[in-house]
Amino acid sequence: MVQFARPDNDFEAVGWNTVPLWAKIDEDVRSDIDFIESDDLLVPDISAPSDPPDPGPKTGPFDCNLDLSDVTDPEVSTGHIVRYAFEKNLGGGPETLNLLIELRQGVTLIASWTENDVQKGFTQKNRTLTAMQADAITNYTLLRLYFKASISSGATVSAARTIKVSWTEFQVPDAPSGGGEGGGGGGGGGEVFDPLKFPHKGQKELVYNLTKKAFIPYRYSFLSADSPFIVSAFTTPQLNIVTGAKYPSATIKYLVYIPDATTPTFTVGFHHDGTFVDWKTEDSTGVDAPAFLTGGYITAGDTQREKGVTYLTTHFRRTETGFTDLGGGNFDSINPSSCMVQSQWEWTVDVLANRWSPSFQAYRIPQVYIVKDASDNFITGYSVISTRNKLRGQGRAVTIQFSSDPINDMHLLGYALEITGETKV
C-alpha cells in the first residue's frame, strides 16, 4: 500500500491561472482536460534604442507554490516519488521554455528537477527521491510543490508561449501500523503483534554529543534480506569489564528484532564492532555503516562574487597500527583510514545541479613505507596525516563534504581553504 500527497491549497501563485490552482491538478488519476497555465513568457526586445536602454516588454519567470495534503511518515527512505505532467501551448514561435519543479518542506528545499526546452504535448515525469533526500523530510504535513516557468530564448510579444501543468502527486510508502492496541468492532480483541509493522522500526537515531553540544543524526543500515532492526532503546547500569570478555561495558542498549520465517527472535544489541559495519553478528559480514560530514556554506563574507578554492588542506588522525600478512610478501594495514572529499557549489542540494565536483581521496600517507614483517607496528613518527588538495569548481558559495569509505576508519581533525575571488561582481 502507498500514500499520496496531492495539492489542496494555493500557498502562492504569481503569473499562473486560474485560481484556485490546486483544484485543476489534484486528480487521483492523471487527467489533462483541466490544467494550470503560466502567463505569456517573453524575452527582452532591445532592437529599439533608448536612453536609458529600454529592454522592452518582459514577463516571467512565474512562480506557483502549492500545499500538499498530509501523509504519515512511512519511516523508510525508499519509494518517495514525485510525478507531474506538463507541456507548452500550441501557439507562438520557436522559443525555449523551461520548468523548474521543487519539493519543499515549508521553505526548506528537499529535491528539485529542471525540465529544459519544454515541448508541445503533455509529458509525464516520475522523479524518485534519493535516500538522503527522503531522510531530509522531517514533517510530512508541511510539504509543498513549487513550479517555476521561465524562458531562455525566443518569443516576442506577438509570439508568446506559456507552460501548462495538468497533474501532480507525491507518492510515499504506507505508514507502518502498530501492534498491541485494542481491535475495533464488536469483538474488542487485541491485534496480533507483528514486529515487521512496528511503528518505531528503528533506522534513525539522534545522538547528542556532550563535547560538541550538538545533535548528530545516525542511520542504521539494513541487510539485503531478513535484516535485524531496532524496536526500542533502553539504558542499563554500567557493567564491569571481565578480562577476556567479548563485549565491553555499555549503558545504552537496544531491543532488536531478528525476522525469520521459522523462528523470529528478539535479542539485545549494542555498539561493539570496530569494523564500521552494522549487524555483523547476524551474518558474519554485516553491511557498511556510511558516515559523512557536510560543512556550512563558505562565502568569505561576499555572496556576490565568484570564487574558487586553489587548495584544500586536510588534517586526519593516523589510525594504522600494524599489518596483516596476506602471504606471498603481501600485507594489509590494520585499521586503515580513508576519506572521500567533494566540493558542492552555489547552495545546491543535489548532484543534478551539476555543481558538485567528483569525489577524491584526501587521506594519503605521504611517504612510502617498507614493511618488515607482520610484527611491524607501522611507526612513521607522525600522528597526523595532512594533505594538500586542488579543489575543482567555482561559485559564490561552497561547502565541503567528507565521506567515509566502507570498512575504513576516519578521524577528521580539521581543514583549511585557500580561496580566490573575482574582482568584479
Judged by phi (left if over 0) then psi (alpha if -120 to 50, else beta), residue 289 lies in beta
Q: For position 58, what pLDDT does the model report?
A: 47
CA distances to 236, 290, 332, 363, 377 from 370, in Å: 47, 31, 12, 19, 12
pLDDT on residue 189: 40
Per the listing, cell 500550441 goes with 90
Per-residue model confidence (pLDDT) at position 42: 74
Work out the mean pLDDT of the chain and round it to a whole number. 83
Regions in the chain scoring below 70 on pLDDT: 43-60, 91-94, 154-159, 177-202, 238-250
176: Cβ contacts below 8 Å, ≥ 6 apart: 74, 75, 197, 198, 199, 201
The position carrying cell 577524491 is 360
Q: What is the pLDDT of residues 114-148, one digit of tens each?
A: 999 999 999 999 999 999 999 999 999 999 999 99
**Cα–Cα distance for residue pair 212/20, rounded to 1 Å:** 48
Q: How far, in Å, CA of 341 to CA of 414, rounded?
A: 13
Given this model, what pLDDT does residue 129 score? 95
| Cα 171 to Cα 51: distance, rounded to the nearest angstrom | 53
Which pLDDT does position 29 carry in this prediction? Answer: 92
